[in-house]
Amino acid sequence: MFLLSLGVPSMLLILKICGLAFLLFFLRAAWVIISCYYLTPRRIRRLMAKQGVYGPKPRFLVGNLKDSSALVSQATSRDMESIDHDIVGRLLPHYVLWSKIYGKRFIYWYGSEPRLCLTDTDMIKELLSSKYVQLSGRSWLQKQGSKHFIGHGVLMANGSNWYHQRHTVAPAFMGDALKGHVGYMVDCTMQMIKLLRGTIQSGNDEVEIGECMTQLTADIISRTEFASSYEKGKKIFKLLDKLQSLTAQASRYLWIPGGRFFPSKYYSEIKEVRGEVERLMTEIIGSRKDGVEIGRSSSYGKDLLGILLAEAQKKGDGFSYNLEMVMDECKTFIFAGHETSALLLTWTMMLLAVNPSWQDKARAEVDQVCGDKPPSADHLSKLNLLNMIINESLRLYPPATVLPRMVFEDIKLGDLHVPKGLSIWIPVLAIHHDREIWGKDANDFNPERFASRSFALTRNFLPFASGPRNCVGQAFATMEAKIVLAMLLSHFSFTISKNYRHAPINVLTLRPKYGVPIKLKPLRP
């Protein structure tokens, strides 16, 4: 009606303007696609070739994605024939192949994202140092892939936001706050031990220890974050697990231009689960705030949620936490703080189950240091053998097999000019198994190599990354691992079940494909 009242010349003018706007929009979209998917990759490829860095030829749009997935699915299609720790060829077969052809420093393409594989540990140290911490970080693909899951939490943050977030959350995992977690780590482990005893008494002495460890670390992190509301925290944890797998499915095609706009059957479910997570979190946050407002408590608490809520009250220039960010941060810690820890415990139990002499030695140390009491904060620093075993487990089976860093500005690393837009991939698993670094027995379980402290601190040992952006939960994770392992060792002896199938796989983290069934024998009445 309105258009008709304008008359023909005015209508033509409007149509022309719309046409022009559409053309401009189309040209801009075309330019972005050509620049992102052709010109920038080509520029980076040429620049790296000039410096002697080559790699497999990329195909248009898919890059080397098809080749690497084919190699990985072939290598992991069968179980390993024995419990052998030589797993680099199985999990990173593309790295093994391409490093043989192009040298240890090569470039490959994840879709149209160029990735520089780097194993030179001096360069890695420089990249992870404070010099480049704000000039490198998470790539668009990484951020987009986890947007609906952990959003803008510290793990996915970059630049000055990351700096602010990191300094806010770190105190929850340091010094006295860290020591304060010992009590409930012991309580949660004791509950798990009771459950295991019950299972044995009911006639079943075989358990899948991976599942138990996942449940235990989820319990522990829920208490760390939400203190007394931890039952609700556990519900959130279960929903997040679902959200993680839904978002992983939904982001499979993100590397395709416009992939994020593809309709996906997962989005409605993602929205529903995310809504439920946020509803539960709002309830926890609401009751915490009410407690302070009606004077029941004088502060929001010393747990992670309390620290975040106190931070959200501060108003200043620049970055500040709002409700959504508080929730993203809580989700981030549930995600980052339980799966990796559960895997460390699971792999260590597997290694001790197949190495009875180390199991006995570790148990003797625990008995000597802790007696018949549960470990205390003071005991932990005296459990040296256990520490060596944990380090060796993290060396052979690092939960995070690769460290990615996107470079946001042109930088210089050693002799290499690294252009903006290049993602650097550090294959931690390959570095941890390198014979040139660790000697001929690099693929053997030999905790003795960590007897001298210097080895644990070397730049070749990167289970928690290094530099200012290393794992903020590192001390928490090692404390938790020592407590859980010490308590399990003093309550049970264990052997690997004949049903165990050695089939490590890498799905975001390094895990046993079929879990780790072990046979438990109680040691105490």
Binding residues for ligand HEM, rule: CB under 6 A, are: 154-155, 166, 173, 332-333, 336-337, 340-341, 344, 399-400, 403-404, 463-465, 469, 471-473, 476-477
- Least separation in angstroms between residue 162's CB and ligand HEM is 6
Nearer to ligand HEM, 400 or 520 (CB): 400
First-residue to last-residue Cα distance in the chain: 88
- Least separation in angstroms between residue 311's CB and ligand HEM is 15
Cross-strand partners of 136: 407
Nearer to ligand HEM, 218 or 496 (CB): 218
The rounded distance, in Å, linking the Cα atoms of 370 and 376 is: 8
> Which of these, 70, 72, 101, lies nearest to 88 by C-alpha position?
72
- Least separation in angstroms between residue 121's CB and ligand HEM is 15
**Exposed, middle or buried: residue 505 (CB in 10 Å: 0-12, 13-18, 19+)?**
middle
- Least separation in angstroms between residue 261's CB and ligand HEM is 27
Nearer to ligand HEM, 399 or 515 (CB): 399
Percentages (nearest 5) of helix, strand, coil residues in the chain = 60, 10, 30
The rounded distance, in Å, linking the Cα atoms of 4 and 6 is: 5
Tell me which long-range contacts 403-406 makes (C-beta under 8 A, separation of at least 24): 403/128, 403/428, 403/462, 403/465, 404/115, 404/138, 404/139, 404/142, 405/127, 405/128, 405/136, 405/137, 406/136, 406/137, 406/138, 406/139, 406/140, 406/142
Cross-strand partners of 517: 208
329 contacts 308 by C-beta, under 8 angstroms: yes
- Least separation in angstroms between residue 472's CB and ligand HEM is 5
The rounded distance, in Å, linking the Cα atoms of 510 and 429 is: 9
> Which of these, 363, 322, 335, lies nearest to 155 by C-alpha position?
335
- Least separation in angstroms between residue 419's CB and ligand HEM is 21
Q: Is the dihedral of CA 485, 490, 496, 499 positive or negative?
A: negative
> Which of these, 166, 143, 146, 168, lies nearest to 240 by C-alpha position?
146
- Least separation in angstroms between residue 475's CB and ligand HEM is 9
Using Cβ positions, the residue closest to ligand HEM within the complex turns out to be 473
Nearer to ligand HEM, 233 or 404 (CB): 404
The rounded distance, in Å, linking the Cα atoms of 389 and 54 is: 38
Nearer to ligand HEM, 427 or 473 (CB): 473
Nearer to ligand HEM, 292 or 377 (CB): 377
Which pair of structure tokens corresponds to residue 38?
A: 């052709």
User: What count of residues does the chain have?
Assistant: 525
Nearer to ligand HEM, 185 or 385 (CB): 185
Nearer to ligand HEM, 158 or 497 (CB): 158
Query: For residue 511, what are the contacts with CB-CB under 8 A and spacing of at least 6?
Result: 210, 343, 346, 399, 504, 505
Nearer to ligand HEM, 117 or 155 (CB): 155
- Least separation in angstroms between residue 422's CB and ligand HEM is 16
Q: Is residue 471 a known part of a binding site?
A: yes
Give, to the nearest 10 degrees, the angle between helix 209-226 and helix 230-250: 120
Pairing of strands 113-117, 423-426: parallel
| Beta-sheet strands, E only, within 366-463 | 403-407, 411-413, 416-418, 423-426
- Least separation in angstroms between residue 306's CB and ligand HEM is 15
Nearer to ligand HEM, 67 or 510 (CB): 510
Residue whose token pair is 């139990």: 349
- Least separation in angstroms between residue 43's CB and ligand HEM is 26
Q: Residues annotated as binding site for heme?
A: 471
Q: Residues annotated as binding site?
A: 471
